[in-house]
């Protein structure tokens, strides 16, 4: 928060994250006391100091300092100095204090900020694909406190991963990427709970056998056979299980996509997206490319993978937060050329054969 | 690289370029990495040649099949090469064999095949100095190394603490180590060709920073130092930059839910930090004028890893644009700075033009004239 005081004794509290402002007209004495609120004295001590100051200045005051503090606390302007220690052990406080402060800005209450970090620590994530974007997503998830993972990737780390994989280490070339990622998680988080699966997600894979049934969120970054196909498969699974699915990376022509969060019944599903693009791209038909095998022909930059991964992790934080904004419906794309974001809305298709029923059920319940 | 458009030369449509007929004989050559496109009107014989341009047949042979004129095709190849839509077979083979093929394919949207490897070589050999190796600095260093940069000077006097782990690339085992050492290990895991000068010193003033940079002699400086404040360290680095003609990137940082994207300064070409100050002072929030800000010495500002990721991603891209030293791919953050909003996924920019009062550019006007040299 920023706090400003204008000459007419009006205090402006500015919530920097939401730009929300609260204006209060208070006595000059209370303004003086605001600077005492740095966490070094208890409320009782401050109250005594306030009374002493008031009588030395010989000013009349109706309400107590304590009730002023209570008012500001209720508005989310004040927090207890040790609010993190009430919920987290010292090691977690050391590691996550800056982040808890961030959550406090977003959620605007101690309880909600605490709950958000706890949800992050409890969330069981299935990550499909540890490639250019997937590896960076995992690194960031670990940084912010996720610790329960199922990591699926069929391939081994190779030399050319130097330009794309967040876990690249030339000494680990040849090792399965799922295992490399798993051992990274074990080295970094406080209470790891992981399973590495060295297998592909194919069109005929049984998803539940692959990742198990104890999952809260699936992240798909698998580019083979083709992310569109694996996403439709996973999205259908997620609709039946009512699980959120994040689709990130994996697109050759979408180097820094902001990713798609699919929440069954609330956002379009992969079938809705596929239908939408089938219609909007109807007139866009490239000639069949003279080069048949183009796998080594596409470009990418580590900085764009990092951008895409970061945008994806922001969506996950927003999904788990209480006030992180609406769950967007649509796609966005960061364009390298001028650093612009190209975004467009996609609505749920009420006739969708996969998720249409969920909408009808919801409408009925409403 | 010597490029030939002769009848015996072999050409192909770049694999990442899609060719879309948009009617009336017009074809859109769409670069999928950067999503830019260029249009050409082609006769039906020439269009047939394009459809078969896979690099296996020479221009003469493929023209014969489709009854097209060889000089016409050679001419078209020159135009398409200049617009990065086609490449000679030999260049494709060299890219395929290169470790950094993805970066090369990407740069290939800006650099015609004849210039591509030279541009990458300039990037690879660029000497980078990173001032301040905290969250954004550590991420930027690692992304640069993944991109192919090999020459680093890291300047930071701090040690890794547990509280750094939630947003920087430092690992649990790095706790207690000097930050420059921890980053150096990370860079060496990526490539043993990377050379790192480690400078374990805090920067306190303009003289100190000038001394350190004069020793490092970087080609590009990245300012990630926020102690005592980004404004102060930028002022100091600006001073060195203007005197020595070395460009720099202000990596920004974060402010609550915003990732800040700093400006890129090429001395004599773009607005400098002092120019930006003049403009920003004019733009200051008028609604809070005449008010006093409450003095709060112990503020705990929040941060979140992905916001660091976004800030460092843009800083890395700016360094890459400076490093290739070409009109074909210029910095996108000259004369502006930006913010990425966590809550809305929006990017916004503020224009910060060169100011004649500052005197850092010759005329103080938007420098659209030919740049002497970008670096
Ligand atoms: Zn649907
Ligand atoms: Zn200037």
Report the alpha-carbon distance of residue B332 to residue A337 in Å, rounded.
8
Contact: A4, B291; criterion CB under 8 Å: yes
In this structure, the strands spanning A148-152 and A124-128 are parallel
Q: Answer whether residue A34 is part of any domain.
A: yes
In a domain, residue A287? The reply is no
Residues in chain A, total: 366
Distance, CA of A146 to chain centre: 11
Q: Do A287 and B15 touch (CB under 8 A)?
A: no
**d(CA B86, nearest CA chain A) in Å:** 12
Chain A residues with CB-CB distance to B105 below 8 A: 296-300
Mean pLDDT (whole number) for A342-350: 88
Q: What angle do CA B12, B16, B19 make, to 5 degrees?
A: 70
pLDDT in tens, B244-268: 999 999 997 666 567 789 999 999 9
Same domain, B21 and B141: no
- Collect all residues of chain B within an 8 Å Cβ-Cβ radius of residue A136: 309
3-state SS, residue B166: coil
Residue B306, pLDDT > 90, answer: yes
Residue B367 is predicted with a pLDDT of 46
**Shared domain check, B322 and B184:** yes
Each residue's pLDDT tens digit, A256-278: 888 889 999 889 999 999 999 88
- From A206's Cα to the closest Cα of chain B, the distance in A is 32
* Separation CA A317–CA A120 (nearest Å): 8
* Total domains in the fold of chain B: 2
Q: What is the pLDDT of residues B308-363, one digit of tens each?
A: 999 999 999 999 999 999 999 999 999 999 998 877 788 999 999 999 999 898 75
Task: Assess contact for B302 and A101: CB atoms under 8 A.
Answer: yes
| B126-177 residue pLDDT tens | 999 999 999 999 999 999 999 999 999 999 999 999 989 988 999 999 999 9
Task: Mark whether A245 and A190 lie in a shared domain.
Answer: yes
Kindly list the residues from chain B whose CB atom is less than 8 angstroms away from the CB atom of residue A319.
none
Domain span including residue A225: 123-282+298-365
Percentage with pLDDT > 90 across chain A: 59
How many CB atoms lie under 10 A from the CB of residue B356? 14
Q: What is the ipTM of this complex?
A: 0.93
Partner-chain residue, chosen from A302, A317, A341, that has the shortest CB–CB distance to B143: A302
Q: Specify the CATH number for the domain of residue B336.
A: 3.40.50.720
The Cα-based distances of A28 to A6, A32, A33 in angstroms read 11, 6, 9
What global pTM score does this model have? 0.93
Tell me if B143 and A303 make a contact (CB, 8 A cut-off): yes
Q: Are residues A110 and A143 in the same domain?
A: no
The per-residue pLDDT for B373 is: 44
Please tell me whether residues B229 and B363 are part of one structural domain.
Answer: yes
Q: What are the tens digits of pLDDT across the range A275-312? A: 998 888 888 899 999 999 988 899 999 999 999 999 99
Distance CA B235, CA B241 (A): 10
> Looking at residue A325, what is its pLDDT?
60
pLDDT of the residue at B363: 54
Q: Residue B366's pLDDT is what?
A: 45
Residues B30 and B159 in one domain: no
Distance CA A354, CA A33 (A): 60
**Pair B291, A21: CB distance under 8 Å:** no
- Asked whether A102 and B302 are in contact (CB, 8 A), the reply is yes
B187: containing domain:
126-374
| Nearest CB to A102 within list B35, B169, B303 | B303
% of chain B surpassing 70 pLDDT: 91
A286 vs B290: CB contact, 8 Å cut-off?
Answer: no
**How many percent of chain A have pLDDT more than 70?**
93
Both B196 and B336 in a single domain? Answer: yes
* Residue B286 at interface with chain A, using a CB cutoff of 8 Å: no
Per-residue pLDDT, B368: 45
């Amino acid at each position: 928060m920023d706090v400003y005081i204008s000459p007419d004794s009006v205090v402006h509290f500015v919530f920097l994250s939401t730009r929300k402002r609260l204006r209060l007209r208070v006595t000059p004495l209370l303004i003086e006391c605001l600077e005492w609120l740095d966490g070094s004295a208890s409320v009782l001590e401050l109250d005594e100091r306030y009374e002493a100051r008031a009588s030395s200045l010989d000013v009349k005051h109706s309400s107590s300092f304590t009730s002023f503090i209570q008012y500001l606390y209720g508005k989310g302007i004040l927090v207890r100095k040790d609010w993190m220690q009430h919920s987290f052990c010292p090691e977690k406080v050391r590691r996550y204090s800056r982040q808890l402060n961030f959550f406090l800005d977003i959620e605007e209450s101690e309880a909600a900020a605490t709950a958000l970090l706890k949800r992050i620590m409890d969330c069981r994530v299935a990550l499909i694909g540890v490639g250019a974007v997937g590896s960076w997503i995992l690194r960031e998830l670990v940084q912010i406190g996720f610790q329960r993972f199922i990591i699926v990737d069929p391939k081994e780390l190779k030399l050319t991963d130097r330009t794309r994989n967040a876990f690249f280490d030339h000494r680990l070339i040849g090792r399965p990427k799922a295992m490399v990622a798993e051992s990274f998680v074990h080295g970094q988080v406080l209470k790891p709970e992981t399973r590495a699966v060295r297998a592909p997600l194919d069109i005929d894979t049984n998803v539940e056998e692959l990742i198990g049934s104890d999952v809260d969120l699936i992240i798909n970054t698998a580019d083979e056979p083709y992310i569109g196909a694996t996403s439709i498969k996973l999205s259908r699974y997620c609709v039946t299980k009512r699980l959120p699915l994040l689709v990130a990376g994996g697109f050759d022509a979408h180097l820094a996509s902001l990713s798609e969060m699919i929440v069954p019944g609330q956002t379009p599903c992969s079938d809705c997206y596929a239908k939408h693009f089938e219609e909007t791209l109807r007139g866009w038909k490239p000639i069949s490319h003279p080069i048949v095998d183009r796998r080594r022909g596409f470009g990418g930059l580590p900085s764009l993978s990092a951008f895409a991964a970061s945008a994806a992790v922001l969506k996950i934080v927003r999904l788990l937060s209480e006030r992180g904004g609406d769950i967007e419906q649509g796609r966005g794309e960061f364009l390298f050329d001028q650093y612009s974001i190209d975004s467009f809305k996609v609505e749920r298709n009420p006739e969708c054969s996969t998720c249409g029923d969920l909408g009808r059920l919801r409408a009925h319940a409403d | 690289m010597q490029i030939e458009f002769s009848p015996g030369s072999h050409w192909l449509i770049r694999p990442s370029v899609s060719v879309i007929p948009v009617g009336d004989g017009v074809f859109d050559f769409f670069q999928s990495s950067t999503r830019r496109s260029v249009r050409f009107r082609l006769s039906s014989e020439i269009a047939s040649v394009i459809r078969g341009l896979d690099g296996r047949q020479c221009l003469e042979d493929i023209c014969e099949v489709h009854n097209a004129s060889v000089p016409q095709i050679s001419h078209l190849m020159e135009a398409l090469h200049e617009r990065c839509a086609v490449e000679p077979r030999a260049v494709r083979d060299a890219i395929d064999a290169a470790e950094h093929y993805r970066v090369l394919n990407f740069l290939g949207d800006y650099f015609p095949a004849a210039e591509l490897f030279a541009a990458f070589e300039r990037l690879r050999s660029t000497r980078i100095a990173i001032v301040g190796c905290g969250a954004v600095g550590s991420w930027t260093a690692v992304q640069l190394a993944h991109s192919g940069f090999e020459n680093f000077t890291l300047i930071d006097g701090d040690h890794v603490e547990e509280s750094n782990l939630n947003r920087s690339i430092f690992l649990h085992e790095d706790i207690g180590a000097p930050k420059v050492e921890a980053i150096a290990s990370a860079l060496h895991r990526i490539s043993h060709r990377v050379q790192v000068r480690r400078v374990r010193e805090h920067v306190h003033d303009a003289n100190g920073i000038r001394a350190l940079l004069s020793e490092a002699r970087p080609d590009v400086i990245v300012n990630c130092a926020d102690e005592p404040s980004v404004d102060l360290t930028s002022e100091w680095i600006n001073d060195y930059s203007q005197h020595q003609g070395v460009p720099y990137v202000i990596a920004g940082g974060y402010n609550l839910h915003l990732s800040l994207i700093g400006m890129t300064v090429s001395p004599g070409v773009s607005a400098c930090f002092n120019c930006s100050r003049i403009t920003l002072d004019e733009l200051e929030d008028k609604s809070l004028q005449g008010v006093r800000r409450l003095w709060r010495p112990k503020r705990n500002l929040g941060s979140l890893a992905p916001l660091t990721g976004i800030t460092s991603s843009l800083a890395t891209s700016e360094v890459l644009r400076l490093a290739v030293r070409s009109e074909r791919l210029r910095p996108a953050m000259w004369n502006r700075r930006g913010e990425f909003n966590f809550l809305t996924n929006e990017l916004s920019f503020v224009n910060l033009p060169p100011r004649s009062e500052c005197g850092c550019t010759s005329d103080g006007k938007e420098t659209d004239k030919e740049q002497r040299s970008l670096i």
